[in-house]
Amino acid sequence: MAEPLHELGAFIRTQRERSALSVRKLAEQAGISNPYLSQIERGLRRPSADIVKALAGALSISAESLYQRAGWLAGDQPDDATVVDSIEADSRLTAGQRRALVEIYESFVRDNEKETKE
C-alpha cells in the first residue's frame, strides 16, 4: 500500500498531466513555487491544507478528494473515494465536467445522509 504523501503526489501529477499543465503553470495557478510543487508530486513534502485546496482549485477537482488522498479526511463510505477518483480520472470529460459531476455526487450523498438522520 502506498504512503499517503506518495499517493497524493502521484495523483496530483496525474491530474496535472491530464489537464495538460506544466509544473510551472500549475504552481503559478496555485500560488506556490515550481520546486515546492515538484517535491509535493514526488511525495517529499507535505503540503498544508490551504495549498491542497489551491492545487485542487487549479486542477478543477474537489479539495475533499485530495484531502482523502493525503489521509486527512476519511470518506464516509469506502466507495466514496473510488467514485470521486473514477470521475476525476476520466480523460473523456473536461475539467469542468469532472468538477460538476463530483459536486453533484457529493451533494446527493450529503442529502441522503440528512434524510437518513431525520
In the chain, where are the structural domains located?
4-117
Burial class (CB in 10 A: 0-12, 13-18, 19+), 74: exposed
Q: Kindly report the pTM of this predicted structure.
A: 0.65
Q: What amino acid is encoded at 2 in this protein?
A: A
pLDDT digits (tens, 9 = 90+) for 63-98: 887 887 777 766 554 456 678 778 887 888 888 888
pLDDT digits (tens, 9 = 90+) for 23-65: 999 999 999 999 999 999 999 998 988 999 999 999 988 888 7
Residue 118's pLDDT is what?
65
Class of domain 4-117: mainly alpha
Where on the phi/psi map is residue 71: left (φ > 0), alpha (ψ -120 to 50), or beta? left
Residue 74's pLDDT is what?
62
